[in-house]
Structure 1
Amino acid sequence: MKQTIDDYLQAKIGAEKDFQPDWEAHRYLIRGKMFAMHATDKNGKEILTLKLLPEHGEELRELHKDKIIAGYYMNKTHWNSIYLTENLPDELIKKMIDESYRLILGGFSKKVQREIMEGEV
């Protein structure tokens, strides 16, 4: 999945990608609100940070200890970081990306959600 994570993230409707030099991270945003961050941790390990419902994130961290951790340099309740060098199923990573995208999209008004889904600027 590593080769296609960027493609999968950028294929989300309304997704924009930028590089945050201070964090040395690629961010994936919807109208300026981040739904994913692709970076490395202090040891140089590749991580993908995503927003999840708190109870779902906690459950995944329990099931996949040391592969999914509380958000690296993020709010530990809502954000989770996946170590991409670990062997997690591609489908799990995609579902987590989808959930993060839905949560951020759902934070916009219905009008803005419609504009995003219809590709309006």
Structure 2
Amino acid sequence: MDNIIEYCLMKTGATKDYPFGPDPLVIKVAGKMFALIFENKENYSYINLKCDPMIAENLREQHENVRPGYHMNKKHWNTITLDGSLPESDIFVMIDHSYDMVVKNLPKNLRELIQY
């Protein structure tokens, strides 16, 4: 879990926040969420990541532990159960995708400030 949080925070401009209380940990870029991490729920941790709707659907079909986003827009967010069934490298790719989706939708002046 620590590796996943560290990976999220290594992204240019990434900050952590707790806008909803002590859980979940929210990782943002330019004030926009790209990852929500729920730790130790029902013996597993979870991460919500933004995703292109077509890719999101494919991931859900391919992986049992990838589901529509918990408490999120189910079309644009996935919840991934961090139970070890997916390689960390695959989760990192999903984090990259979420971050890129958020950054590409930022206003141009904010994107230029980030320069990722």
Taking structure 1 as the reference length, the TM-score comes to: 0.87
* C-alpha contact (below 8 Å) 2:50/2:76 kept by paired residues: yes
* C-alpha contact (below 8 Å) 1:41/1:72 kept by paired residues: no
1:16 aligns with 2:2: no
Q: For 1:80 and 1:45, how far apart are their aligned partners in 2?
A: 16
* C-alpha contact (below 8 Å) 2:59/2:66 kept by paired residues: yes
Q: Which residue of 1 aligns with 2:62?
A: 63
**What are the ranges of 5 or more consecutive residues in structure 2 without an aligned counterpart?**
none
The C-alpha deviation readout for 1:82-111, integer Å capped at 9, x for no partner, is: 100142012210110000000000011222
Output the amino acid matched with 2:82: L
The C-alpha deviation readout for 1:14-73, integer Å capped at 9, x for no partner, is: 0010113447210000121100000158635310000000000100000002x1110011
Taking structure 2 as the reference length, the TM-score comes to: 0.90
Q: For 2:110 and 2:2, how far apart are their aligned partners in 1?
A: 31
* Alignment CA distance shift 1:23-1:59 (3 Å): farther
- SS of 2:78 mapped into structure 1: strand
**What are the ranges of 5 or more consecutive residues in structure 1 without an aligned counterpart?**
none
Q: For 2:91 and 2:15, how far apart are their aligned partners in 1?
A: 19
Query: How far did 1:74 drift?
Result: 0.6
Q: Which residue of 2 aligns with 1:43?
A: 42
Output the amino acid matched with 2:72: M
Q: Which runs of structure 2 are paired with 1:65-104 in the superposition (5 Å)?
A: 65=64, 67-104=65-102
- SS of 1:20 mapped into structure 2: coil
